[in-house]
């Protein structure tokens, strides 16, 4: 089964994915190896038509951790460069692999993939969604807050695809969602109403009490002409932790970021016990192990 939009990932599936992720994490923590060969002979195709560090490498590690193989192609070295359609590319790759991980710079329409006979996992489509990142983010939050938590999204909510998926996912649960963004980087219309504007005094009003602070960089690559004044002046100061003092944030709060970061979280936060963005990246492997087991229909052995 595909994972293209977070809306279509049921609660039962999420529980199963997280259960498999927990087994993978336990294996890492205590040299316990129940799942190392269960994808032997299976192939994952990583199709990345836009740059990636975390998503590509963590899917790679996840598949290899299960004993499977990974084949990879990018835009520059594929026949997309010669004008081949995405559908023809996917149908061709489906002859070689058991599942596809797909990142595109354009937004995808799931209806266009109905003829593809193997599961497709959306690894980030344009300014659309990033559903597997949302699952990683929820998994990371749940390690600290099981329920009744509050979260503040900061930054470029218009183009931040990780937030588009995560805000929809969180709206299913008992949590209070705030946001703060520049006027020209508001959430897409369909997602407004899922969160409350923290307003310009967020740093004194919401920041000291919130459980989760979720920052994003300015997604400059989504704007064709960044010289036209569309860039946000003072982004890292007004929509990041650049000048925010760690002692204002609650001791048991957590700071998250899907990365890559710009200057919105300065390096000195990395030593703070509440900074969880590298833990998020590590959880990427565990959760993507769970996702691969789900789409490849591999039962968890414990």
Q: Is 160 in the site for ligand CP (CB under 6 A)?
A: no
SS3 89: helix
| Sign, Cα dihedral of 164, 169, 172, 175 | negative
Among 128, 155, 240, 258, binds ligand CP (CB under 6 A): 258
Q: How many other CB atoms are there within 10 angstroms of residue 26's CB atom?
A: 14
Q: Which residue lies nearer to ligand CP by CB, 119 or 131? A: 131
Q: Which residue lies nearer to ligand CP by CB, 122 or 195? A: 122
Q: How many other CB atoms are there within 10 angstroms of residue 72's CB atom?
A: 14
Q: Which of residues 43-62 bind ligand CP (CB under 6 A)?
A: 52-55
Q: Nearest distance from residue 122's CB to ligand CP, in Å?
A: 11
Which one-letter DSSP state was computed for residue 40?
T
Q: Is 182 in the site for ligand CP (CB under 6 A)?
A: no
Q: Which residue lies nearer to ligand CP by CB, 51 or 301? A: 51
Among 46, 89, 133, 165, binds ligand CP (CB under 6 A): 133
Single out the segment in contact with ligand CP by CB under 6 A; choices: 36-44, 173-181, 231-239, 254-262.
Answer: 254-262
Q: Is 132 in the site for ligand CP (CB under 6 A)?
A: no
Place of tokens 């129940």: 34
Of 182, 270, 191, give the one whose Cα is nearest residue 220: 182
Q: How many other CB atoms are there within 10 angstroms of residue 76's CB atom?
A: 8
Of 210, 126, 120, 135, give the one whose Cα is nearest residue 165: 135
Q: Nearest distance from residue 145's CB to ligand CP, in Å?
A: 21
Place of tokens 């951790």: 65
Q: Nearest distance from residue 54's CB to ligand CP, in Å?
A: 4
Q: Which residue lies nearer to ligand CP by CB, 65 or 280? A: 280
Q: Nearest distance from residue 212's CB to ligand CP, in Å?
A: 16
Q: Is 217 in the site for ligand CP (CB under 6 A)?
A: no
**CB-based burial label for 125 (10 Å; 0-12, 13-18, 19+):** buried
What is the rounded distance in angstroms from the CA atom of residue 19 to the CA atom of residue 54?
Answer: 22
Q: CA triplet 162, 165, 169: central angle to 5 degrees?
A: 130
Among 139, 149, 214, 259, binds ligand CP (CB under 6 A): 259
Q: Is 128 in the site for ligand CP (CB under 6 A)?
A: no
Among 124, 128, 240, 290, binds ligand CP (CB under 6 A): 124
What is the rounded distance in angstroms from the CA atom of residue 116 to the CA atom of residue 87?
Answer: 8
What is the rounded distance in angstroms from the CA atom of residue 176 to the CA atom of residue 145?
Answer: 12
Q: Is 140 in the site for ligand CP (CB under 6 A)?
A: no
Q: Nearest distance from residue 248's CB to ligand CP, in Å?
A: 26
Q: Is 68 in the site for ligand CP (CB under 6 A)?
A: no
| Sign, Cα dihedral of 159, 281, 212, 133 | positive
Q: Nearest distance from residue 58's CB to ligand CP, in Å?
A: 8
Q: Nearest distance from residue 88's CB to ligand CP, in Å?
A: 25
Q: Which residues bind ligand CP (CB under 6 A)?
A: 52-55, 124, 130, 133, 258-260
């Amino acid at each position: 089964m595909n994972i293209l939009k977070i809306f279509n990932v049921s609660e039962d599936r999420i529980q199963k994915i997280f259960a498999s992720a927990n087994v993978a994490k336990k294996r890492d923590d205590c040299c316990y190896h129940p799942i190392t060969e269960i994808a032997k002979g299976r192939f994952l195709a990583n199709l990345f038509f836009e740059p990636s560090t975390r998503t590509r490498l963590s899917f790679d590690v996840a598949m290899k951790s299960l004993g499977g193989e990974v084949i990879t192609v990018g835009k520059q070295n594929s026949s997309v460069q010669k004008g081949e359609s995405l559908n023809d590319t996917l149908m061709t790759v489906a002859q070689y692999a058991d599942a596809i991980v797909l990142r595109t710079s354009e937004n995808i329409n799931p209806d266009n993939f109905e003829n593809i006979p193997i599961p497709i996992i959306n690894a980030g489509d344009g300014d659309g969604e990033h559903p597997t990142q949302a699952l990683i983010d929820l998994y990371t939050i749940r390690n600290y807050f099981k329920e009744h938590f509050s979260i503040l999204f900061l930054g470029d909510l218009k183009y931040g695809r990780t937030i588009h998926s995560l805000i929809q996912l969180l709206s299913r649960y008992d949590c209070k969602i705030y946001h703060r963004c520049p006027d020209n980087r508001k959430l897409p219309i369909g997602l407004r109403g899922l969160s409350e504007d923290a307003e310009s005094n967020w740093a004194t009003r919401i920041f000291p009490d919130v459980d989760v602070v979720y920052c994003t960089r300015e997604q400059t690559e989504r704007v064709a002409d960044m010289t036209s004044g569309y860039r946000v002046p003072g982004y890292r100061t007004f929509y990041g932790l650049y000048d925010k003092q760690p002692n204002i944030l609650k001791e048991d709060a957590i700071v998250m970021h899907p990365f890559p970061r710009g200057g919105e979280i300065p390096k000195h936060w990395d030593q703070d016990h509440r900074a969880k963005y590298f833990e998020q990246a590590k959880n990427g492997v565990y959760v993507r192990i769970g996702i691969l087991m789900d789409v490849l229909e591999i039962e968890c052995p414990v």
